[in-house]
Amino acid sequence: MVGSGEIIVNDIRKIFKKGKPDEVRAVDGIGFTINKGELFGLLGPNGAGKTTLIKCISTLLIPDSGSVTVGGYDIYREPLEVRRHIGVLTGGERSLYWKLTPVENLRYFAALYGVSRKVTKERITYLLELMGLVDKSNVRVEKLSSGMKQKLSLARVLIHDPPVLLVDEPTLGLDPYFARFIRDFVKNELNKKLKKTILLTTHYMDEADELCERIAFMNRGKIEALDTPDRLKQSMPQKQVLEIKCQGTIEKDMFETIDGAAGINISHGEGFVFLRWNTDNPELILGNIIELVREKAKIYSVRVTTPTLEDVFVHLTGASLKDA
Protein backbone atom coordinates (compact mmCIF):
# COMPACT_ATOMS: atom_id res chain seq x y z
CA MET A 1 0.00 0.00 0.00
CA VAL A 2 1.16 3.48 -0.86
CA GLY A 3 -0.36 6.49 0.93
CA SER A 4 -3.83 6.57 2.49
CA GLY A 5 -6.02 7.82 -0.37
CA GLU A 6 -8.04 5.41 -2.49
CA ILE A 7 -6.98 7.12 -5.71
CA ILE A 8 -3.68 8.96 -5.61
CA VAL A 9 -2.67 10.87 -8.72
CA ASN A 10 0.76 12.43 -8.59
CA ASP A 11 1.96 14.91 -11.22
CA ILE A 12 0.83 12.96 -14.26
CA ARG A 13 1.24 14.09 -17.85
CA LYS A 14 -0.14 12.78 -21.11
CA ILE A 15 0.88 14.56 -24.27
CA PHE A 16 -0.51 13.56 -27.66
CA LYS A 17 1.51 14.10 -30.86
CA LYS A 18 4.51 15.05 -28.79
CA GLY A 19 6.93 17.43 -30.52
CA LYS A 20 4.63 17.94 -33.51
CA PRO A 21 3.12 21.34 -34.34
CA ASP A 22 -0.31 20.10 -33.24
CA GLU A 23 0.92 18.71 -29.92
CA VAL A 24 -1.84 18.46 -27.29
CA ARG A 25 -0.98 18.62 -23.60
CA ALA A 26 -4.15 16.73 -22.66
CA VAL A 27 -3.09 16.12 -19.04
CA ASP A 28 -0.42 18.56 -18.01
CA GLY A 29 0.94 17.84 -14.55
CA ILE A 30 -2.02 16.92 -12.38
CA GLY A 31 -2.10 15.70 -8.79
CA PHE A 32 -4.86 15.00 -6.27
CA THR A 33 -5.98 12.40 -3.75
CA ILE A 34 -9.46 10.93 -3.54
CA ASN A 35 -10.39 9.49 -0.15
CA LYS A 36 -12.05 6.18 0.42
CA GLY A 37 -15.83 6.54 0.07
CA GLU A 38 -15.62 9.99 -1.47
CA LEU A 39 -17.64 11.18 -4.46
CA PHE A 40 -15.16 13.39 -6.28
CA GLY A 41 -15.98 15.46 -9.35
CA LEU A 42 -13.81 16.51 -12.23
CA LEU A 43 -15.49 19.45 -13.89
CA GLY A 44 -14.27 21.03 -17.10
CA PRO A 45 -15.21 22.06 -20.63
CA ASN A 46 -14.83 19.93 -23.76
CA GLY A 47 -11.22 19.01 -24.36
CA ALA A 48 -10.11 19.81 -20.79
CA GLY A 49 -8.52 16.37 -20.51
CA LYS A 50 -11.06 14.64 -18.26
CA THR A 51 -11.44 11.46 -20.30
CA THR A 52 -7.69 11.23 -20.88
CA LEU A 53 -7.16 11.41 -17.12
CA ILE A 54 -9.79 8.70 -16.53
CA LYS A 55 -8.11 6.51 -19.15
CA CYS A 56 -4.76 6.92 -17.44
CA ILE A 57 -6.22 5.99 -14.04
CA SER A 58 -8.01 2.96 -15.51
CA THR A 59 -4.83 1.73 -17.30
CA LEU A 60 -6.28 2.19 -20.80
CA LEU A 61 -3.63 4.82 -21.52
CA ILE A 62 -0.09 4.97 -20.19
CA PRO A 63 0.85 8.44 -18.93
CA ASP A 64 4.14 9.97 -20.09
CA SER A 65 5.18 10.68 -16.51
CA GLY A 66 3.91 10.78 -12.96
CA SER A 67 2.35 8.11 -10.80
CA VAL A 68 -1.12 6.79 -10.01
CA THR A 69 -2.26 4.28 -7.43
CA VAL A 70 -5.78 2.90 -7.02
CA GLY A 71 -6.52 1.09 -3.78
CA GLY A 72 -2.77 1.01 -3.22
CA TYR A 73 -2.09 -0.69 -6.57
CA ASP A 74 0.29 0.95 -9.01
CA ILE A 75 -1.00 1.44 -12.57
CA TYR A 76 2.40 0.58 -14.09
CA ARG A 77 3.37 -2.39 -11.97
CA GLU A 78 -0.04 -3.83 -11.07
CA PRO A 79 -2.44 -2.97 -13.92
CA LEU A 80 -4.49 -6.15 -13.51
CA GLU A 81 -5.13 -5.48 -9.83
CA VAL A 82 -6.07 -1.91 -10.68
CA ARG A 83 -8.56 -3.11 -13.28
CA ARG A 84 -10.14 -5.54 -10.85
CA HIS A 85 -10.42 -2.75 -8.31
CA ILE A 86 -12.34 -0.37 -10.59
CA GLY A 87 -15.44 -0.24 -12.73
CA VAL A 88 -15.50 2.23 -15.62
CA LEU A 89 -18.79 3.65 -16.78
CA THR A 90 -18.81 5.92 -19.79
CA GLY A 91 -21.84 7.74 -21.10
CA GLY A 92 -21.06 7.20 -24.76
CA GLU A 93 -19.82 3.79 -25.76
CA ARG A 94 -21.65 0.77 -24.39
CA SER A 95 -20.21 -2.67 -24.64
CA LEU A 96 -22.97 -5.22 -24.43
CA TYR A 97 -23.55 -8.24 -26.62
CA TRP A 98 -26.80 -7.54 -28.41
CA LYS A 99 -27.51 -11.14 -29.40
CA LEU A 100 -27.21 -12.27 -25.78
CA THR A 101 -29.70 -11.79 -22.97
CA PRO A 102 -29.00 -9.64 -19.86
CA VAL A 103 -28.24 -12.75 -17.82
CA GLU A 104 -25.84 -14.08 -20.47
CA ASN A 105 -24.11 -10.71 -20.76
CA LEU A 106 -23.62 -10.43 -17.02
CA ARG A 107 -22.38 -14.03 -16.77
CA TYR A 108 -19.85 -13.34 -19.51
CA PHE A 109 -18.44 -10.24 -17.85
CA ALA A 110 -18.39 -11.92 -14.44
CA ALA A 111 -16.30 -14.73 -15.95
CA LEU A 112 -13.89 -12.17 -17.44
CA TYR A 113 -13.24 -10.86 -13.95
CA GLY A 114 -12.94 -14.32 -12.49
CA VAL A 115 -16.00 -14.04 -10.25
CA SER A 116 -17.02 -17.47 -8.87
CA ARG A 117 -20.19 -19.14 -10.15
CA LYS A 118 -22.01 -18.91 -6.87
CA VAL A 119 -21.23 -15.21 -6.40
CA THR A 120 -22.07 -14.52 -10.04
CA LYS A 121 -25.51 -15.99 -9.58
CA GLU A 122 -26.18 -13.91 -6.48
CA ARG A 123 -24.90 -10.71 -8.06
CA ILE A 124 -26.91 -11.16 -11.24
CA THR A 125 -30.10 -11.62 -9.21
CA TYR A 126 -29.25 -8.58 -7.10
CA LEU A 127 -28.29 -6.33 -10.04
CA LEU A 128 -31.26 -7.21 -12.26
CA GLU A 129 -33.52 -6.53 -9.31
CA LEU A 130 -31.76 -3.24 -8.58
CA MET A 131 -32.14 -2.10 -12.20
CA GLY A 132 -35.73 -3.26 -12.54
CA LEU A 133 -34.80 -5.68 -15.30
CA VAL A 134 -35.96 -8.96 -13.78
CA ASP A 135 -38.74 -9.50 -16.32
CA LYS A 136 -36.25 -8.89 -19.16
CA SER A 137 -33.66 -11.33 -17.82
CA ASN A 138 -33.94 -13.67 -20.76
CA VAL A 139 -34.82 -11.26 -23.57
CA ARG A 140 -32.11 -10.49 -26.12
CA VAL A 141 -30.46 -7.12 -25.46
CA GLU A 142 -31.32 -5.88 -28.97
CA LYS A 143 -34.98 -6.01 -27.97
CA LEU A 144 -34.58 -3.80 -24.89
CA SER A 145 -35.35 -0.08 -24.84
CA SER A 146 -32.36 2.25 -24.77
CA GLY A 147 -32.95 3.07 -21.09
CA MET A 148 -32.95 -0.64 -20.27
CA LYS A 149 -29.71 -1.12 -22.20
CA GLN A 150 -28.16 1.71 -20.22
CA LYS A 151 -29.28 0.17 -16.95
CA LEU A 152 -27.78 -3.13 -18.04
CA SER A 153 -24.50 -1.36 -18.87
CA LEU A 154 -24.55 -0.03 -15.34
CA ALA A 155 -25.14 -3.55 -13.97
CA ARG A 156 -22.24 -4.79 -16.10
CA VAL A 157 -19.87 -2.27 -14.51
CA LEU A 158 -20.90 -3.50 -11.06
CA ILE A 159 -20.73 -7.24 -11.71
CA HIS A 160 -17.30 -7.69 -10.09
CA ASP A 161 -18.32 -5.40 -7.21
CA PRO A 162 -15.41 -2.95 -7.63
CA PRO A 163 -14.78 -0.60 -4.69
CA VAL A 164 -13.83 2.25 -7.04
CA LEU A 165 -15.93 3.60 -9.90
CA LEU A 166 -14.78 5.92 -12.64
CA VAL A 167 -17.85 7.50 -14.15
CA ASP A 168 -17.25 9.57 -17.30
CA GLU A 169 -20.06 11.97 -18.28
CA PRO A 170 -22.80 9.68 -16.99
CA THR A 171 -25.75 11.77 -18.14
CA LEU A 172 -24.45 13.09 -21.46
CA GLY A 173 -27.25 13.05 -24.01
CA LEU A 174 -29.77 11.38 -21.68
CA ASP A 175 -33.36 12.56 -21.38
CA PRO A 176 -34.04 14.46 -18.12
CA TYR A 177 -35.90 11.56 -16.54
CA PHE A 178 -33.11 9.07 -17.05
CA ALA A 179 -30.45 11.65 -16.14
CA ARG A 180 -32.23 12.06 -12.80
CA PHE A 181 -32.29 8.29 -12.28
CA ILE A 182 -28.55 8.05 -12.96
CA ARG A 183 -27.69 10.96 -10.64
CA ASP A 184 -29.76 9.55 -7.79
CA PHE A 185 -28.35 6.10 -8.39
CA VAL A 186 -24.74 7.28 -8.36
CA LYS A 187 -25.23 9.35 -5.21
CA ASN A 188 -27.62 7.30 -3.11
CA GLU A 189 -27.06 3.70 -4.17
CA LEU A 190 -23.43 3.58 -5.27
CA ASN A 191 -21.86 6.19 -3.01
CA LYS A 192 -24.01 6.40 0.14
CA LYS A 193 -25.30 2.85 0.39
CA LEU A 194 -22.63 0.72 -1.25
CA LYS A 195 -19.79 3.05 -0.09
CA LYS A 196 -18.08 3.13 -3.47
CA THR A 197 -15.31 5.61 -4.04
CA ILE A 198 -16.33 7.51 -7.15
CA LEU A 199 -14.52 9.77 -9.58
CA LEU A 200 -17.10 11.43 -11.78
CA THR A 201 -16.43 13.69 -14.73
CA THR A 202 -18.97 16.08 -16.10
CA HIS A 203 -19.27 19.40 -17.80
CA TYR A 204 -22.64 20.03 -16.18
CA MET A 205 -21.92 22.28 -13.22
CA ASP A 206 -25.29 21.56 -11.59
CA GLU A 207 -24.54 17.86 -11.68
CA ALA A 208 -21.15 18.36 -10.01
CA ASP A 209 -22.63 20.77 -7.49
CA GLU A 210 -25.42 18.39 -6.53
CA LEU A 211 -23.44 15.17 -6.38
CA CYS A 212 -19.85 15.83 -5.43
CA GLU A 213 -18.23 16.34 -2.05
CA ARG A 214 -15.20 17.94 -3.65
CA ILE A 215 -14.66 19.24 -7.14
CA ALA A 216 -11.54 19.77 -9.21
CA PHE A 217 -11.90 22.36 -11.95
CA MET A 218 -9.99 21.12 -14.97
CA ASN A 219 -9.05 23.27 -17.92
CA ARG A 220 -6.46 22.69 -20.66
CA GLY A 221 -4.91 19.73 -18.90
CA LYS A 222 -4.49 21.46 -15.56
CA ILE A 223 -6.43 21.70 -12.31
CA GLU A 224 -7.37 25.32 -11.67
CA ALA A 225 -8.99 24.84 -8.27
CA LEU A 226 -9.98 22.00 -5.96
CA ASP A 227 -12.39 22.28 -3.04
CA THR A 228 -15.94 21.63 -1.84
CA PRO A 229 -18.65 23.26 -4.00
CA ASP A 230 -19.54 25.65 -1.17
CA ARG A 231 -15.98 26.77 -0.54
CA LEU A 232 -15.39 27.25 -4.27
CA LYS A 233 -18.40 29.55 -4.43
CA GLN A 234 -17.37 31.39 -1.26
CA SER A 235 -13.95 31.99 -2.79
CA MET A 236 -15.42 34.46 -5.26
CA PRO A 237 -14.22 37.98 -4.49
CA GLN A 238 -17.69 39.32 -5.32
CA LYS A 239 -20.57 37.79 -3.45
CA GLN A 240 -23.48 38.59 -5.76
CA VAL A 241 -24.40 38.05 -9.37
CA LEU A 242 -26.55 40.31 -11.50
CA GLU A 243 -28.26 38.32 -14.24
CA ILE A 244 -30.22 39.60 -17.22
CA LYS A 245 -32.16 37.20 -19.42
CA CYS A 246 -32.78 38.64 -22.87
CA GLN A 247 -33.07 37.98 -26.59
CA GLY A 248 -30.86 39.88 -29.01
CA THR A 249 -27.26 40.38 -30.03
CA ILE A 250 -25.02 41.29 -27.12
CA GLU A 251 -21.27 41.82 -27.42
CA LYS A 252 -18.89 41.52 -24.48
CA ASP A 253 -17.20 44.86 -25.10
CA MET A 254 -20.47 46.83 -25.00
CA PHE A 255 -20.09 47.25 -21.24
CA GLU A 256 -16.46 48.32 -21.05
CA THR A 257 -17.37 51.94 -20.39
CA ILE A 258 -19.38 51.08 -17.28
CA ASP A 259 -17.38 51.05 -14.07
CA GLY A 260 -17.49 47.60 -12.46
CA ALA A 261 -19.25 45.94 -15.39
CA ALA A 262 -16.33 44.93 -17.60
CA GLY A 263 -16.23 41.32 -16.40
CA ILE A 264 -19.29 39.82 -18.04
CA ASN A 265 -20.19 36.23 -18.76
CA ILE A 266 -22.47 35.68 -21.75
CA SER A 267 -24.10 32.30 -22.21
CA HIS A 268 -26.89 30.94 -24.34
CA GLY A 269 -29.68 28.53 -23.53
CA GLU A 270 -33.26 27.75 -24.53
CA GLY A 271 -33.32 30.55 -27.08
CA PHE A 272 -32.25 33.20 -24.57
CA VAL A 273 -29.05 35.07 -23.88
CA PHE A 274 -27.96 35.17 -20.23
CA LEU A 275 -25.73 38.03 -19.13
CA ARG A 276 -24.06 37.68 -15.73
CA TRP A 277 -21.90 40.08 -13.77
CA ASN A 278 -20.09 39.23 -10.55
CA THR A 279 -20.49 42.24 -8.34
CA ASP A 280 -20.74 43.51 -4.79
CA ASN A 281 -23.05 46.36 -5.75
CA PRO A 282 -25.59 45.31 -8.36
CA GLU A 283 -27.63 48.44 -7.76
CA LEU A 284 -24.71 50.67 -8.81
CA ILE A 285 -24.31 49.15 -12.29
CA LEU A 286 -27.89 48.10 -12.96
CA GLY A 287 -29.22 51.34 -14.43
CA ASN A 288 -26.43 51.84 -16.95
CA ILE A 289 -26.39 48.19 -17.96
CA ILE A 290 -30.11 48.00 -18.61
CA GLU A 291 -29.95 51.08 -20.79
CA LEU A 292 -27.26 49.49 -22.97
CA VAL A 293 -28.92 46.09 -23.18
CA ARG A 294 -32.27 47.67 -24.14
CA GLU A 295 -30.72 49.16 -27.25
CA LYS A 296 -29.76 45.70 -28.54
CA ALA A 297 -32.13 43.22 -26.96
CA LYS A 298 -35.51 42.49 -25.45
CA ILE A 299 -35.19 41.97 -21.68
CA TYR A 300 -37.19 39.15 -20.09
CA SER A 301 -35.95 39.25 -16.53
CA VAL A 302 -33.43 40.88 -14.24
CA ARG A 303 -32.40 39.27 -10.97
CA VAL A 304 -29.68 39.26 -8.34
CA THR A 305 -28.44 35.83 -7.24
CA THR A 306 -25.41 34.22 -5.64
CA PRO A 307 -22.44 32.76 -7.56
CA THR A 308 -22.73 29.32 -9.14
CA LEU A 309 -19.86 26.99 -9.97
CA GLU A 310 -20.11 28.29 -13.52
CA ASP A 311 -19.34 31.79 -12.23
CA VAL A 312 -16.36 30.46 -10.29
CA PHE A 313 -15.06 28.68 -13.37
CA VAL A 314 -15.42 31.77 -15.53
CA HIS A 315 -13.72 33.81 -12.85
CA LEU A 316 -10.78 31.40 -12.68
CA THR A 317 -10.29 30.62 -16.36
CA GLY A 318 -12.12 33.27 -18.36
CA ALA A 319 -13.85 30.40 -20.14
CA SER A 320 -17.43 29.24 -19.85
CA LEU A 321 -18.22 25.60 -19.20
CA LYS A 322 -21.29 25.83 -21.37
CA ASP A 323 -19.97 27.64 -24.39
CA ALA A 324 -16.54 26.03 -24.57
Rounded CA separation 37/47 (Å): 28
Smallest separation, CB 321 to ligand ATP (Å): 10
Smallest separation, CB 174 to ligand ATP (Å): 15
CB nearer to Mg ion: pick between 201 and 279: 201
Q: Which residues contact 246 (CB under 8 A, 6 or more apart)?
A: 272, 273, 275, 293, 297, 298, 299, 300
CB nearer to ligand ATP: pick between 248 and 269: 269
| Binding residues for ligand ATP, total number by CB under 6 A | 13
Rounded CA separation 11/29 (Å): 5
Return the number of other C-beta atoms located less than 10 Å from residue 152's C-beta: 23
Q: Which entry of ligand ATP, Mg ion, none binds 16, CB below 5 to 8 A by partner kind?
A: ligand ATP
CB nearer to Mg ion: pick between 51 and 153: 51
CB nearer to ligand ATP: pick between 60 and 262: 60
- Residues present in the chain in total: 324
Site for Mg ion (CB under 5 A): which residue of 6, 12, 15, 51?
51
Residues 301-320 contacting Mg ion, CB under 5 A = none
Stretch that binds Mg ion, among 2-10, 45-53, 144-152, 293-301 (CB under 5 A): 45-53
| Binding residues for Mg ion, total number by CB under 5 A | 2
Question: Per rule CB under 6 A, is residue 185 in the interface with ligand ATP?
Answer: no
SS (H, E, C) the chain: CCCCCCEEEEEEEEEECCCCCCCEEEEEEEEEEECCCCEEEEECCCCCCHHHHHHHHCCCCCCCEEEEEECCEECCCCHHHHHHHEEEEECCCCCCCCCCCHHHHHHHHHHHCCCCHHHHHHHHHHHHHHCCCHHHCCCCHHHCCHHHHHHHHHHHHHCCCCCEEEEECCCCCCCHHHHHHHHHHHHHHHHHHCCCEEEEEECCHHHHHHHCCEEEEEECCEEEEEECHHHHHHCCCCCEEEEEEEEECCCHHHHCCCCCCCCEEEEEECCEEEEEEEECCHHHHHHHHHHHHHHHEEEEEEEEECCCHHHHHHHHHCCCCCCC
Q: Which entry of Mg ion, ligand ATP, none binds 8, CB below 5 to 8 A by partner kind?
A: none
CB nearer to ligand ATP: pick between 21 and 237: 21
Bridge partners (DSSP) of residue 74 are 69
CB nearer to ligand ATP: pick between 44 and 162: 44
CB nearer to ligand ATP: pick between 51 and 69: 51
CB nearer to Mg ion: pick between 21 and 173: 173
**Closest among 144, 65, 159 to 111, alpha carbons compared:** 159
Q: Which entry of ligand ATP, Mg ion, none binds 49, CB below 5 to 8 A by partner kind?
A: ligand ATP
Residues 41-80 contacting ligand ATP, CB under 6 A = 44, 46-52
Smallest separation, CB 220 to ligand ATP (Å): 9
Residues 195-254 contacting ligand ATP, CB under 6 A = 203
Smallest separation, CB 269 to Mg ion (Å): 21
Smallest separation, CB 168 to Mg ion (Å): 6
By beta carbon distance, the residue nearest Mg ion is: 51
Residues 9-48 contacting ligand ATP, CB under 6 A = 16-17, 24, 26, 44, 46-48
Site residues (vs ligand ATP, CB under 6 A): 16-17, 24, 26, 44, 46-52, 203
Site residues (vs Mg ion, CB under 5 A): 50-51
